[in-house]
Structure 1
Amino acid sequence: MRDTFKKHLESNLNMLQDSRLLLAISGGLDSVVLAHLCHQLNLKVSLAHCNFNLRAAESDADEDFVLQLADDLDMEVFIESFETENYAKEEGLSIQMAARELRYTWFQELAEQLKFDYILTAHHADDNLETFLINLTRGTGLEGLTGIPEVTGKIVRPLLPFSREALKVYAIDQNIAWQEDSSNASTKYLRNKLRHDIIPILKQMNSQLLQNFQTTISNLQDSQDLIDDSVVRIQKKLTTAEDDQIKLDVLKLKQLSNPKAYLYQLLKDFNFTAWNDVVNLLDAQSGKQVFSSTHRLLKDREFLLLSEIASETDQAPIAIQKSDQEVVVPFGTLRFEHVTAIMDTGNTTIYVDAEKLVFPLILRKWQEGDVFYPLGMKGKKKKLSKYFKDEKLSLIEKEHIWILVSDDEVVWVVGKRADDRFKVTENTTKILKIDLQ
């Protein structure tokens, strides 16, 4: 197996040869075999072991085993202990998800702090098959059926072509010891049930199951590549990025052979789950919207508008004192400067009569019922909602509007229009320049 593993690295993962590698090791068969293979090929590897404190003495025995293995192989080793059950309760996660989150966060931190080039995990062909079946039973798109990727950013899985049985045969042949995790025998978890009850039956039915599965995965990955290429071409034709939002042309989407499929491909990275509701937006009235945990999709006339959901802290009003010269705001920086004359003007710069201002000024989101006197309109009052309609602002654009207020009177619809009541006149003695960077 060592020779096959070496050829696999040379052909597909040659970048590992001269890199600093951090190997995630549990003490189980898979990761221990990977450690020995890396050692035999003289790769520059350090070990990283997580003690999740979930199996009492067994967890501590795994830690001791890894420490001894590192000593035997003369490898640097890092150990981290986690209170996994407490973390799971605090974050509202299952034990499995909590452990996953904890270990990958720690691995990434170690790699960044100590300049490791890649993180190695010991996923193998049987893990890949189990993941495929799990996704299949839960319902998934094509991505869920293309298997575990060999490389994801800094994470590399060099054992993916090898079966669990091949690893075990190699370990026995080389007199390599490993730790058995008693929780792996329990079938209360779906993965273990597949591993112990379902996959053995499939292998009895077809002795070439894993080999055929690898061929299927390769074919599905090829299909995914074709889809990705098609989506890139379509994306260029019907999406545009403006400020903090992405616009999708509804008419062009509806002219595609399968709008639902393309919508899924275009939006799959934004955490949407209610896909029927997403598709229904194509024929919905303006103002209808669908939310994911992180984003919002809004129907606005002939477009779907995708934007990130702002946090509550990004919506809070901001008080600006008379002494402030620069204030950081959610959309940039406001600068205040006393000047003697009006120079450059525009949407991002206004000049006001400083003596007409009442401090603190308040910067806040606009609200229904707000009115102002648009500069240049000779004292005519206008509702902000009517002004936005006249300016043909989209619903999302309106939601991003902030106003600068003095004693409940609008000074500036920021980035749009100043208020006529605070303009500089021939009687002005103190001019304040307000500039948005």
Structure 2
Amino acid sequence: MLQKFQNHLLDRFKFLSNKKLLLATSGGIDSMVMLHLLEKLDYKIGIAHCNFQLRGVESFEDQKFIQDYADANGIPVYITQFDTKAFAADYKLSTQVAARKLRYNWFYELLETEQYDYIVTAHHADDNLETFLINLSRGTGLDGLTGIPEQNENVVRPLLAFTQHDLEEYARLNAIKWREDSSNASDKYVRNKIRHHLVPLLKELNPNFLLSFHKTQSYLQEAQDMVDDAAIMIYQQVAVQEDENISFDLKKLMKLPNYKSYLYQWLNEFGFTAWNDIYDLVESQSGKFVLSANYRLLKDRESLILSPLDFSNEKQEYFINQDQKEVNIPLNISFSVATDISIASNTTIFVDSDKLEYPLVLRRWNEGDQFQPLGMNGKSKKISKFFKDEKLSLLEKENTWLLCSNNTIVWIIGLRQDERFKIDNTTKNILKIQLD
């Protein structure tokens, strides 16, 4: 197997040569075989071991086993302990999901702090089959059937081409010691039920089942690649990206016979799961939206607009003192004394500075806010009505800021000045305010 593994690395993972590799090592047979193989091939390696404290004394015995192995073989080792159950309870996660989050967050920290290039895990062909069956049982698209990727950013899985039997045979021939995880014998977890009952039956029906499965996944991956190519081509026709927002043209989208499939391909990576709600959004009225953990998909007239959620405090206010010449947060605005009035615009206004009360305040608009639009002879107007008349989109409304003096609106920034602060024949001091 050593020669086959070396050839596999040269064929599929040549980029790992001369790189520092952080091996995720539990102490089980899979990770100990991976460790032994990469040692034999003289790769630059370090060991990362997580003690999840889920199996009492056994977890600490695993930790000691790894520490002793690293010391005996002169390999850098990094060990950490997690209160996995407490973390899972705090964040309302399953134990397995909690362990995965803790593990990979720590691995990525080690990549940065210890200057490793890649995380290497010991997932093998049987793991891939189990993942396929789990996804199939829960319902999934093509992406859930293509299996565990060989590489996902800085995580590589060079053992996916090898079976559990291959690893066990290599361990036996090389007298490799490992720790047996007692939880692997339990049918408490779905993966273990599949491993203990379903996979043996499939292998009994077809002794070459893993080889056949590998071919099937190759075909599925080719189909997924075709879907990805089509999604990219249609995306270029339907979507427009501006800053962090992506707008999908619904008129163009609805002409597609499989528009739901395209929406899934485009939005899946943003963490959305409520697909029926997303598909219904196409026919909904403006203002309806669907949320993922970090994004919002908004129906706005003839568009669907994808934008990142703003977790900052929308009630936050920014104060501007009289001696300030500029501000840079949340907008770039400059203040300067003017001796004459040049042409005002949406981005430049001139006000009577003696009418201002400091500190000025920059804030978001609120429902119920009113102002007196310049040129309307002192008539008040609700900002919401002004937005409607200006035909602002929902996103434009959300991104609008106000400049205020003692709770009185001076300027709807970038849109309209207030009448009450305009220059008149009694003005002695003129202040130019410019949005840069």
Q: Structure 1 length as normaliser, TM-score?
A: 0.94
User: Match of 1:286?
Assistant: 286
Q: What is the CA–CA distance in structure 1 between the aligned matches of 2:40 and 2:340, rounded to whole Å?
A: 76
User: Match of 1:84?
Assistant: 84
The answer to whether the Cα contact below 8 Å between 1:353 and 1:423 also exists between their aligned partners in 2 is yes
Amino acid in the other structure paired with 1:97:
V
Deviates more, 1:341-350 or 1:206-215: 341-350
User: Match of 2:239?
Assistant: 239
Deviates more, 1:244-253 or 1:179-188: 244-253
User: Match of 1:171?
Assistant: 171
Amino acid in the other structure paired with 1:100:
R
User: Match of 1:410?
Assistant: 409
Aligned pairs (5 A) from 1:59-208: 59-208=59-208
Q: What is the CA–CA distance in structure 2 between the aligned matches of 1:410 and 1:372, rounded to whole Å?
A: 6
Structure 1's unaligned 5+ residue stretches are: none
Residues 343, 154 of structure 1: alpha-carbon distance in 2 compared, 3 angstrom cutoff: farther
Give 1:220 deviation, angstroms: 1.0
Give 1:133 deviation, angstroms: 0.9
Amino acid in the other structure paired with 1:354:
S
Partner deviation per Cα, 1:151-184 (whole Å, 9 max, x = no partner): 1111111111111111011001100000101111
Partner deviation per Cα, 1:251-307 (whole Å, 9 max, x = no partner): 111111211111111211222222112112222222332222322222222111222
User: Match of 2:30?
Assistant: 30
Amino acid in the other structure paired with 1:415:
G
Q: What is the CA–CA distance in structure 2 between the aligned matches of 1:58 and 1:229, rounded to whole Å?
A: 48
User: Match of 1:358?
Assistant: 357
User: Match of 2:268?
Assistant: 268
Q: What is the CA–CA distance in structure 1 between the aligned matches of 2:434 and 2:65, rounded to whole Å?
A: 63
Q: What is the CA–CA distance in structure 1 between the aligned matches of 2:356 and 2:366, rounded to whole Å?
A: 21
Q: What is the CA–CA distance in structure 1 between the aligned matches of 2:352 and 2:294, rounded to whole Å?
A: 42
Q: What is the CA–CA distance in structure 2 between the aligned matches of 1:343 and 1:10, rounded to whole Å?
A: 69
Amino acid in the other structure paired with 1:373:
Q
User: Match of 1:372?
Assistant: 371
The answer to whether the Cα contact below 8 Å between 1:84 and 1:98 also exists between their aligned partners in 2 is yes
Q: What is the CA–CA distance in structure 2 between the aligned matches of 1:124 and 1:347, rounded to whole Å?
A: 61
Give 1:337 deviation, angstroms: 4.4
Q: What is the CA–CA distance in structure 1 between the aligned matches of 2:337 and 2:95, rounded to whole Å?
A: 59
Q: What is the CA–CA distance in structure 2 between the aligned matches of 1:85 and 1:326, rounded to whole Å?
A: 50
Q: What is the CA–CA distance in structure 1 between the aligned matches of 2:33 and 2:49, rounded to whole Å?
A: 15
Amino acid in the other structure paired with 1:145:
L
Q: Answer yes or no: is 1:389 the counterpart of 2:384.
A: no
Backbone CA RMSD of aligned residues: 2.1
Residues 345, 167 of structure 1: alpha-carbon distance in 2 compared, 3 angstrom cutoff: farther
Residues 343, 269 of structure 1: alpha-carbon distance in 2 compared, 3 angstrom cutoff: farther
Q: What is the CA–CA distance in structure 1 between the aligned matches of 2:92 and 2:341, rounded to whole Å?
A: 56
Give 1:323 deviation, angstroms: 4.8
User: Match of 1:434?
Assistant: 433
Percentage of pairs with the same residue? 51
Q: What is the CA–CA distance in structure 2 between the aligned matches of 1:37 and 1:348, rounded to whole Å?
A: 65
Give 1:343 deviation, angstroms: 6.2
The answer to whether the Cα contact below 8 Å between 1:251 and 1:302 also exists between their aligned partners in 2 is yes
The answer to whether the Cα contact below 8 Å between 2:314 and 2:364 also exists between their aligned partners in 1 is no
Aligned length: 436
Give 1:428 deviation, angstroms: 3.1
Partner deviation per Cα, 1:34-88 (whole Å, 9 max, x = no partner): 1110011001111111111221211111111111221333211111122222222
Structure 2's unaligned 5+ residue stretches are: none
The answer to whether the Cα contact below 8 Å between 1:21 and 1:119 also exists between their aligned partners in 2 is yes
SS of residue matched to 2:147: coil
Give 1:212 deviation, angstroms: 1.1
Residues 91, 277 of structure 1: alpha-carbon distance in 2 compared, 3 angstrom cutoff: closer
Give 1:216 deviation, angstroms: 1.2
User: Match of 1:248?
Assistant: 248
Aligned pairs (5 A) from 1:270-349: 270-327=270-327, 329-330=329-330, 332-338=331-337, 340=339, 346-349=345-348
Q: What is the CA–CA distance in structure 2 between the aligned matches of 1:264 and 1:229, rounded to whole Å?
A: 14
The answer to whether the Cα contact below 8 Å between 1:39 and 1:73 also exists between their aligned partners in 2 is no
Partner deviation per Cα, 1:168-205 (whole Å, 9 max, x = no partner): 11001100000101111111111111111111111111
Q: What is the CA–CA distance in structure 1 between the aligned matches of 2:65 and 2:207, rounded to whole Å?
A: 34
Q: What is the CA–CA distance in structure 2 between the aligned matches of 1:429 and 1:297, rounded to whole Å?
A: 50
Give 1:393 deviation, angstroms: 1.0
The answer to whether the Cα contact below 8 Å between 1:239 and 1:247 also exists between their aligned partners in 2 is yes
SS of residue matched to 2:307: strand
Q: Answer yes or no: is 1:400 the counterpart of 2:399.
A: yes
Give 1:352 deviation, angstroms: 2.5
SS of residue matched to 2:282: helix
Q: What is the CA–CA distance in structure 1 between the aligned matches of 2:2 and 2:199, rounded to whole Å?
A: 26
Q: Structure 2 length as normaliser, TM-score?
A: 0.94
Partner deviation per Cα, 1:91-150 (whole Å, 9 max, x = no partner): 222221111111111110110122211111111111111111111111112111111111
The answer to whether the Cα contact below 8 Å between 2:357 and 2:405 also exists between their aligned partners in 1 is yes
Q: Answer yes or no: is 1:419 the counterpart of 2:411.
A: no
Give 1:423 deviation, angstroms: 2.6
The answer to whether the Cα contact below 8 Å between 1:403 and 1:414 also exists between their aligned partners in 2 is yes
Residues 174, 345 of structure 1: alpha-carbon distance in 2 compared, 3 angstrom cutoff: farther
